[in-house]
């Protein structure tokens, strides 16, 4: 290889690629971003941003409909008009997209090349007939929705998170296939905006990756709001007749039922974007599950690293950004300074109402892996702020090892994604839960629920005979 044009080329302009390019550029590397279509990735255009805008509109509509709970009255003929919701969502996405135009990166010295990329050899990628060479590549091309091979599904023109936000008007009713985070968030949002929802999940419960007790709280809320939650049901056939989509569902007892709606939204999972990259020519091994990497995010080509959805195991923007930082470090520096990925403190949230946030192990996982586990819970009803805000549905659960350190933490309730942040810091720094009880929390806030939970661990610790003896010795009278 002759003198390469760039030190680092990030292939993919989503969360991972933008972060990788920015870090590499800040470290003095000559950097390029290669993006197939437009910068921002799934999170900006099809995922986090449009879904959160839709969820916010839905929350406002729900609040208006429940105004009486806050001592407010509305005219008897009051009705929420949802006709402009989808255009509002598009406006929000377009505003956020202005935060990372190509010109901003170009001004910082980062080259941006648009077009479908494909590897020519181990050090060269071709983009729209232009060859780009680099010392190191970081592949971060993301993922796409999986369309399962269900009889007739490919002929009904189904929706996914990539095209549902293109709708001009909301449907009257909708079948949602899959009760993971995407399916759950969109189901609740659309239901609150007047769309009748059938939520179909093959597993026995919604959000099967979450702590079962916490997921149960959310499931009851969804049912209470009128969503038809059909768990343990497998869709076996789809057909479109007279402008409607019909689905045959089969239960575990082989019973069958038919449901219908204007359309079906498929949210059963995601698959990595490996197609068209010609990874074989670069000596990069991959499978349907993604690119093969080691603990340093290095592929089978020592000059190529990968991060984000293309490698998994977590499909979140914040994980992609974390992995990008690790990949850049390892791509630029000598082996002595390399860093392994560490997923022990990965956390995430599902932004429903109530929100559901997870850190570390579930209670079930912790009991399987550790012999001595302690579990502390605090209900939202013990929070004065939860009562004033009418957010009394919720629970905090923290699972500890025998030393009092956090193995897992789970929050279901208002602002769960914010409340869990302090527990993330504590776990990452191996701070025992009991120590958090000594911090001064602002009153009245929902975060006081963490202090109350930590206080239970502290009280139990204080009841230890040895601790009691030391306290007696230390007393002044």
Condensed to tens digits (0 to 9), the pLDDT of residues 28-70 reads 999 999 999 999 888 888 888 999 999 999 999 999 999 999 9
Tell me the pLDDT band of 421, cut-offs 50, 70 and 90: very high
Strand 173-177, strand 196-201: pairing: parallel
Q: What is the pLDDT of residues 360-375, one digit of tens each?
A: 999 999 999 998 999 9
Domain ranges of the chain: 6-40+100-144+271-337, 153-269, 347-466
Q: How far apart are CA 444 and CA 422, in angstroms?
A: 17
H or E element that contains 17: helix 15-26
Q: How far apart are CA 262 and CA 241, in angstroms?
A: 10
The two tokens of residue 117 are 């990329």
Q: Please determine, for residue 424, whether its predicted confidence score (pLDDT) is greater than 70.
A: yes
- pLDDT score, position 51: 95
- pLDDT score, position 387: 96
Q: Name residue, tokens 């690293």.
A: 305
Strand 130-139, strand 6-11: pairing: parallel
Q: How far apart are CA 228 and CA 248, in angstroms?
A: 15
Decide if 153-269 and 347-466 have a common fold: no
Q: How far apart are CA 402 and CA 374, in angstroms?
A: 7
**CB atoms < 10 A from the CB of 311, how many?**
25
CATH placement of domain 153-269: 3.50.50.60
H or E element that contains 240: strand 233-241
The answer to whether residues 223 and 204 touch, using CB atoms and an 8 Å cutoff, is no
Q: What is the mean pLDDT of the chain?
A: 94
The answer to whether residues 17 and 11 touch, using CB atoms and an 8 Å cutoff, is yes
Give this prediction's pTM: 0.93
Which is the CATH superfamily of the domain at 6-40+100-144+271-337? FAD/NAD(P)-binding domain (3.50.50.60)
Tell me the pLDDT band of 308, cut-offs 50, 70 and 90: very high
The answer to whether residues 401 and 429 touch, using CB atoms and an 8 Å cutoff, is no
Q: How far apart are CA 19 and CA 25, in angstroms?
A: 10
Tell me if residue 153 falls in helix, strand or coil.
Answer: helix
Fold of 347-466: Enolase-like; domain 1 (3.30.390)
Tell me the pLDDT band of 465, cut-offs 50, 70 and 90: low
First-to-last alpha carbon distance for the chain, in angstroms, is: 80
The two tokens of residue 451 are 């202090």
Q: Which residues partner with 230 through β-bridges?
A: 200
- pLDDT score, position 463: 64
Q: What is the pLDDT of residues 83-124, one digit of tens each?
A: 999 999 999 999 988 888 899 999 999 999 999 999 999 999
H or E element that contains 114: strand 111-114
Contacts of residues 159-163 at CB distance under 8 Å and 24 or more positions apart, as own/partner, are 159/263, 159/264, 159/265, 159/266, 160/265, 160/266, 160/267, 161/42, 161/46, 161/47, 161/51, 161/186, 161/267, 162/42, 162/46
Tell me if residue 360 falls in helix, strand or coil.
Answer: strand
Q: Which of 196-210, 357-371, 409-423, 463-477 has the lowest average pLDDT? A: 463-477
- pLDDT score, position 338: 97
Q: How far apart are CA 167 and CA 86, in angstroms?
A: 7
């Amino acid at each position: 290889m002759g003198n390469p044009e760039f030190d680092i080329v990030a292939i993919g302009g989503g969360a991972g690629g933008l972060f990788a390019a920015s870090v590499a550029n800040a470290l003095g590397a000559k950097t390029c971003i290669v993006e197939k279509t437009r910068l921002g990735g799934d999170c900006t255009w099809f995922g986090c941003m449009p879904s959160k805008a839709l969820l916010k509109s839905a929350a406002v509509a729900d609040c208006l409909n429940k105004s009486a709970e806050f001592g407010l009255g509305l005219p008897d003929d009051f009705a929420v008009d949802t006709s402009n919701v989808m255009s509002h969502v598009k406006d929000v996405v377009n505003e956020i997209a202005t935060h990372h135009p190509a010109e901003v990166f170009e001004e910082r010295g980062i080259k941006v090349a648009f077009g479908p990329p494909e590897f020519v050899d181990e050090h060269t990628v071709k983009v729209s007939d232009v060859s780009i060479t680099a010392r190191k590549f970081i592949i971060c091309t993301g993922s796409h929705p999986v369309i399962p091979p269900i009889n007739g599904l490919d002929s009904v023109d189904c929706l996914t998170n990539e095209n549902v936000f293109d709708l001009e008007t909301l449907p009257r009713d909708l079948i949602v296939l899959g009760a993971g985070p995407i399916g759950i968030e969109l189901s609740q949002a659309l239901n609150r905006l007047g769309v009748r929802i059938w939520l179909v999940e093959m597993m026995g419960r919604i959000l099967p990756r979450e702590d079962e007790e916490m997921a149960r709280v959310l499931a009851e809320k969804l049912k209470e709001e009128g969503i038809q939650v059909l768990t343990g049901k497998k869709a076996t056939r789809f057909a479109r007749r007279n402008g409607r989509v019909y689905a045959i569902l089969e239960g575990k007892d082989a019973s069958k039922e038919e449901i219908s709606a204007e359309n079906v939204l498929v949210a059963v999972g995601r698959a990595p974007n490996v197609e068209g990259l010609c990874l074989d020519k670069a000596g990069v091994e991959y499978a349907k599950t993604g690119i093969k990497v080691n603990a340093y995010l290095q592929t089978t080509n020592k000059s190529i690293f990968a991060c984000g959805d293309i490698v998994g195991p977590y499909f979140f923007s914040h994980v992609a950004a974390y992995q990008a930082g690790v990949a850049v470090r390892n791509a630029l520096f000598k082996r002595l300074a390399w860093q392994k990925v560490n997923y022990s403190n990965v956390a995430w949230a599902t932004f429903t109402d109530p929100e559901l946030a997870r850190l570390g192990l579930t209670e079930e996982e912790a009991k399987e892996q550790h012999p001595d586990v302690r579990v502390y819970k605090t209900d939202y009803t013990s929070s004065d702020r939860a009562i004033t805000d009418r957010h009394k549905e919720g629970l905090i659960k923290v699972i500890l090892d025998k030393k009092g350190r956090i193995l897992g933490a789970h929050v279901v309730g208002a602002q769960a994604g914010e409340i869990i942040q302090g527990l993330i810091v504590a776990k990452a720094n191996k701070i025992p839960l009991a120590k958090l009880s000594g911090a001064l929390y602002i009153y009245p806030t929902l975060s006081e629920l963490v202090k109350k939970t930590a206080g239970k661990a502290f009280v139990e610790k204080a009841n230890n005979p040895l601790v009691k003896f030391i306290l007696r010795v230390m007393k002044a009278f």
